[in-house]
Amino acid sequence: MKSWKIGKFFGITLELHWTTILFLVFLVVLSPIYSYIFLILFIIISLHELSHSVVAKHYNVKVSKIILLPIGGMAVMQEERLKPKVEFLMSIAGPLFNFLFAGVVLAVASTGVLPVYNLSAWDAMTNGKIPLEFVGYTISTLFWLNWILGAFNMFIPAIPMDGGRAFRAILAMIWGYVKATRIAAITSKIITALMFLIAIFSFNIILLLVSVFIFLGANAEIEQAVNISAMTRIDMKKLIKRRSVKLKKNATVLDAIAAMRRLNVTQVFVGDYKHAVMIDDISRVNKNNWKNTLAIQLAKEVRPARLGSRPDVIMQLFTSQDIDILPVTNGKRVVGFVERDNLEKAVRVARTVMG
Ligand code: ZN
């Protein structure tokens, strides 16, 4: 997943996914007026996602970045299991921001200070015609997009939409995380089935895609909830190993590959336990250069897990960093290592025990 960094806001990195860039280029070619709408839409989506993230940060939930996809924004969080209250507040923050924005636009427009405030310009926009009044056009676009985005996210109680997450959070206060997700996922599927039918009968392609997207999202959510719940049954202490391979700082790529072959591992540390080289990184280097390339040049920095971290937090550290072996620290000292394979096996066993 290649994406480009746009900037950092409130300590959160905003990235543009390559498919989004492709989509925008496609739109510019197709119709300049549509690209203008989408540009405004992407700014609004970014602010919407940032609102979620700012609330998350307030509750010490770490948000590593926001990726803008053609279908909307996605916040990458380091923690997946949230307290119901936090999830509720985080979920409603995005749509609430949109309503606030729409309200301010409406208030400003209705004072008449601005040259034009023609909110019915929506018709002209959707026809793809460029209205004569550019300012009025922009204002009306800002109003309508905020209103639609807010309402769409808030009032469809289908997970993974914001309304669905808020709904799940309320259920989780009563029945706990997994049962709440099950009920929320079933509700989502009923809603998407209805949306799908409406889309078919009204030949609405966008609605059709949205319903499929929500359906798949609901499935992913239930899968994740079951995994997280299974993980609470894993005894992390049993998975911690004492040793891992660490090469000298001046080791070459050839040394790294030799160690990997000898010990049947896909990752070795170089110099210290903060830098690791993965087999996939090596495969990108020409074989002839293995002997004269330092392994440390390919190494990525590894964020370790703290001793006593929950299994789901550890799993998140594996996936967010895309590594196979994770050092475990107690204070500043490395006290052991966890292998991703072993954790995944433990999750499978725990899921089967859960039934
Ligand atoms: Zn949202």
Per-residue pLDDT reduced to its tens digit, 173-232: 998 887 888 888 888 889 989 989 999 999 888 888 888 888 888 888 777 777 877 888
Residues 282 and 224 in one domain: no
Cα angle vertex 243, ends 237, 245, to 5°? 140
Lowest mean pLDDT among 118-127, 128-137, 268-277: 118-127
pLDDT tens digits along 330-342: 988 899 999 999 9
Residues 2 and 150 in one domain: yes
Percent of the chain with pLDDT strictly greater than 90: 24
CA dist., res. 122 & res. 71, Å (int)? 21
Residues 196 and 109 in one domain: no
157: CA distance to ligand 1 center in Å? 12
153: CA distance to ligand 1 center in Å? 6
Confidence of residue 127 (pLDDT cuts 50, 70, 90): low
176: CA distance to ligand 1 center in Å? 22
94: CA distance to ligand 1 center in Å? 5
Residues 75 and 218 in one domain: no
pLDDT tens digits along 230-254: 888 888 888 888 888 888 888 999 9
pLDDT of residue 114: 59
* Domains held by the chain: number: 3
Residues 39 and 113 in one domain: yes
Strands ordered across the beta sheet of 72-77:
3-9, 12-17, 63-69, 72-77
Tell me the pLDDT of the chain averaged across its residues. 84
33: CA distance to ligand 1 center in Å? 25
CA dist., res. 230 & res. 96, Å (int)? 34
Residues 210 and 304 in one domain: no
CA dist., res. 74 & res. 65, Å (int)? 8
pLDDT of residue 355: 61
pLDDT of residue 113: 61
CA 127, 133, 139, 143 torsion-angle sign: negative
Average of pLDDT values for 255-266?
A: 91
pLDDT of residue 117: 42
Crossing angle for the helix pair 84-111 and 32-58, nearest 10 degrees? 130
Average of pLDDT values for 99-109?
A: 89
Q: Cβ-count burial of 335 within 10 angstroms (0-12 exposed, 13-18 middle, 19+ buried)?
A: middle
Confidence of residue 316 (pLDDT cuts 50, 70, 90): confident
Residues 165 and 135 in one domain: no
Residues 166 and 287 in one domain: no
Q: Which of 198, 231, 264 is the last residue of a domain?
A: 231
Average of pLDDT values for 6-18?
A: 81
Average of pLDDT values for 44-58?
A: 90
Higher pLDDT, 306 or 159: 306
Q: Which of 231, 254, 269 is the last residue of a domain?
A: 231
CATH number, domain with residue 273: 3.10.580.10
Residues 17 and 143 in one domain: yes
CA dist., res. 195 & res. 208, Å (int)? 7
Residues 251 and 304 in one domain: yes
Does pLDDT of 115 surpass 60? Answer: no
160: CA distance to ligand 1 center in Å? 9
Query: Is 49 among the catalytic positions?
Result: yes
Lowest mean pLDDT among 118-122, 289-293, 348-352: 118-122
Residues 4 and 142 in one domain: yes
Residues 248 and 130 in one domain: no
Q: Which of 208, 231, 254 is the last residue of a domain?
A: 231
Domain region containing 151: 1-155
CA dist., res. 109 & res. 180, Å (int)? 42
pLDDT of residue 324: 92
The predicted model scores a pTM of 0.67
Catalytic residue among 49, 87, 221, 339: 49
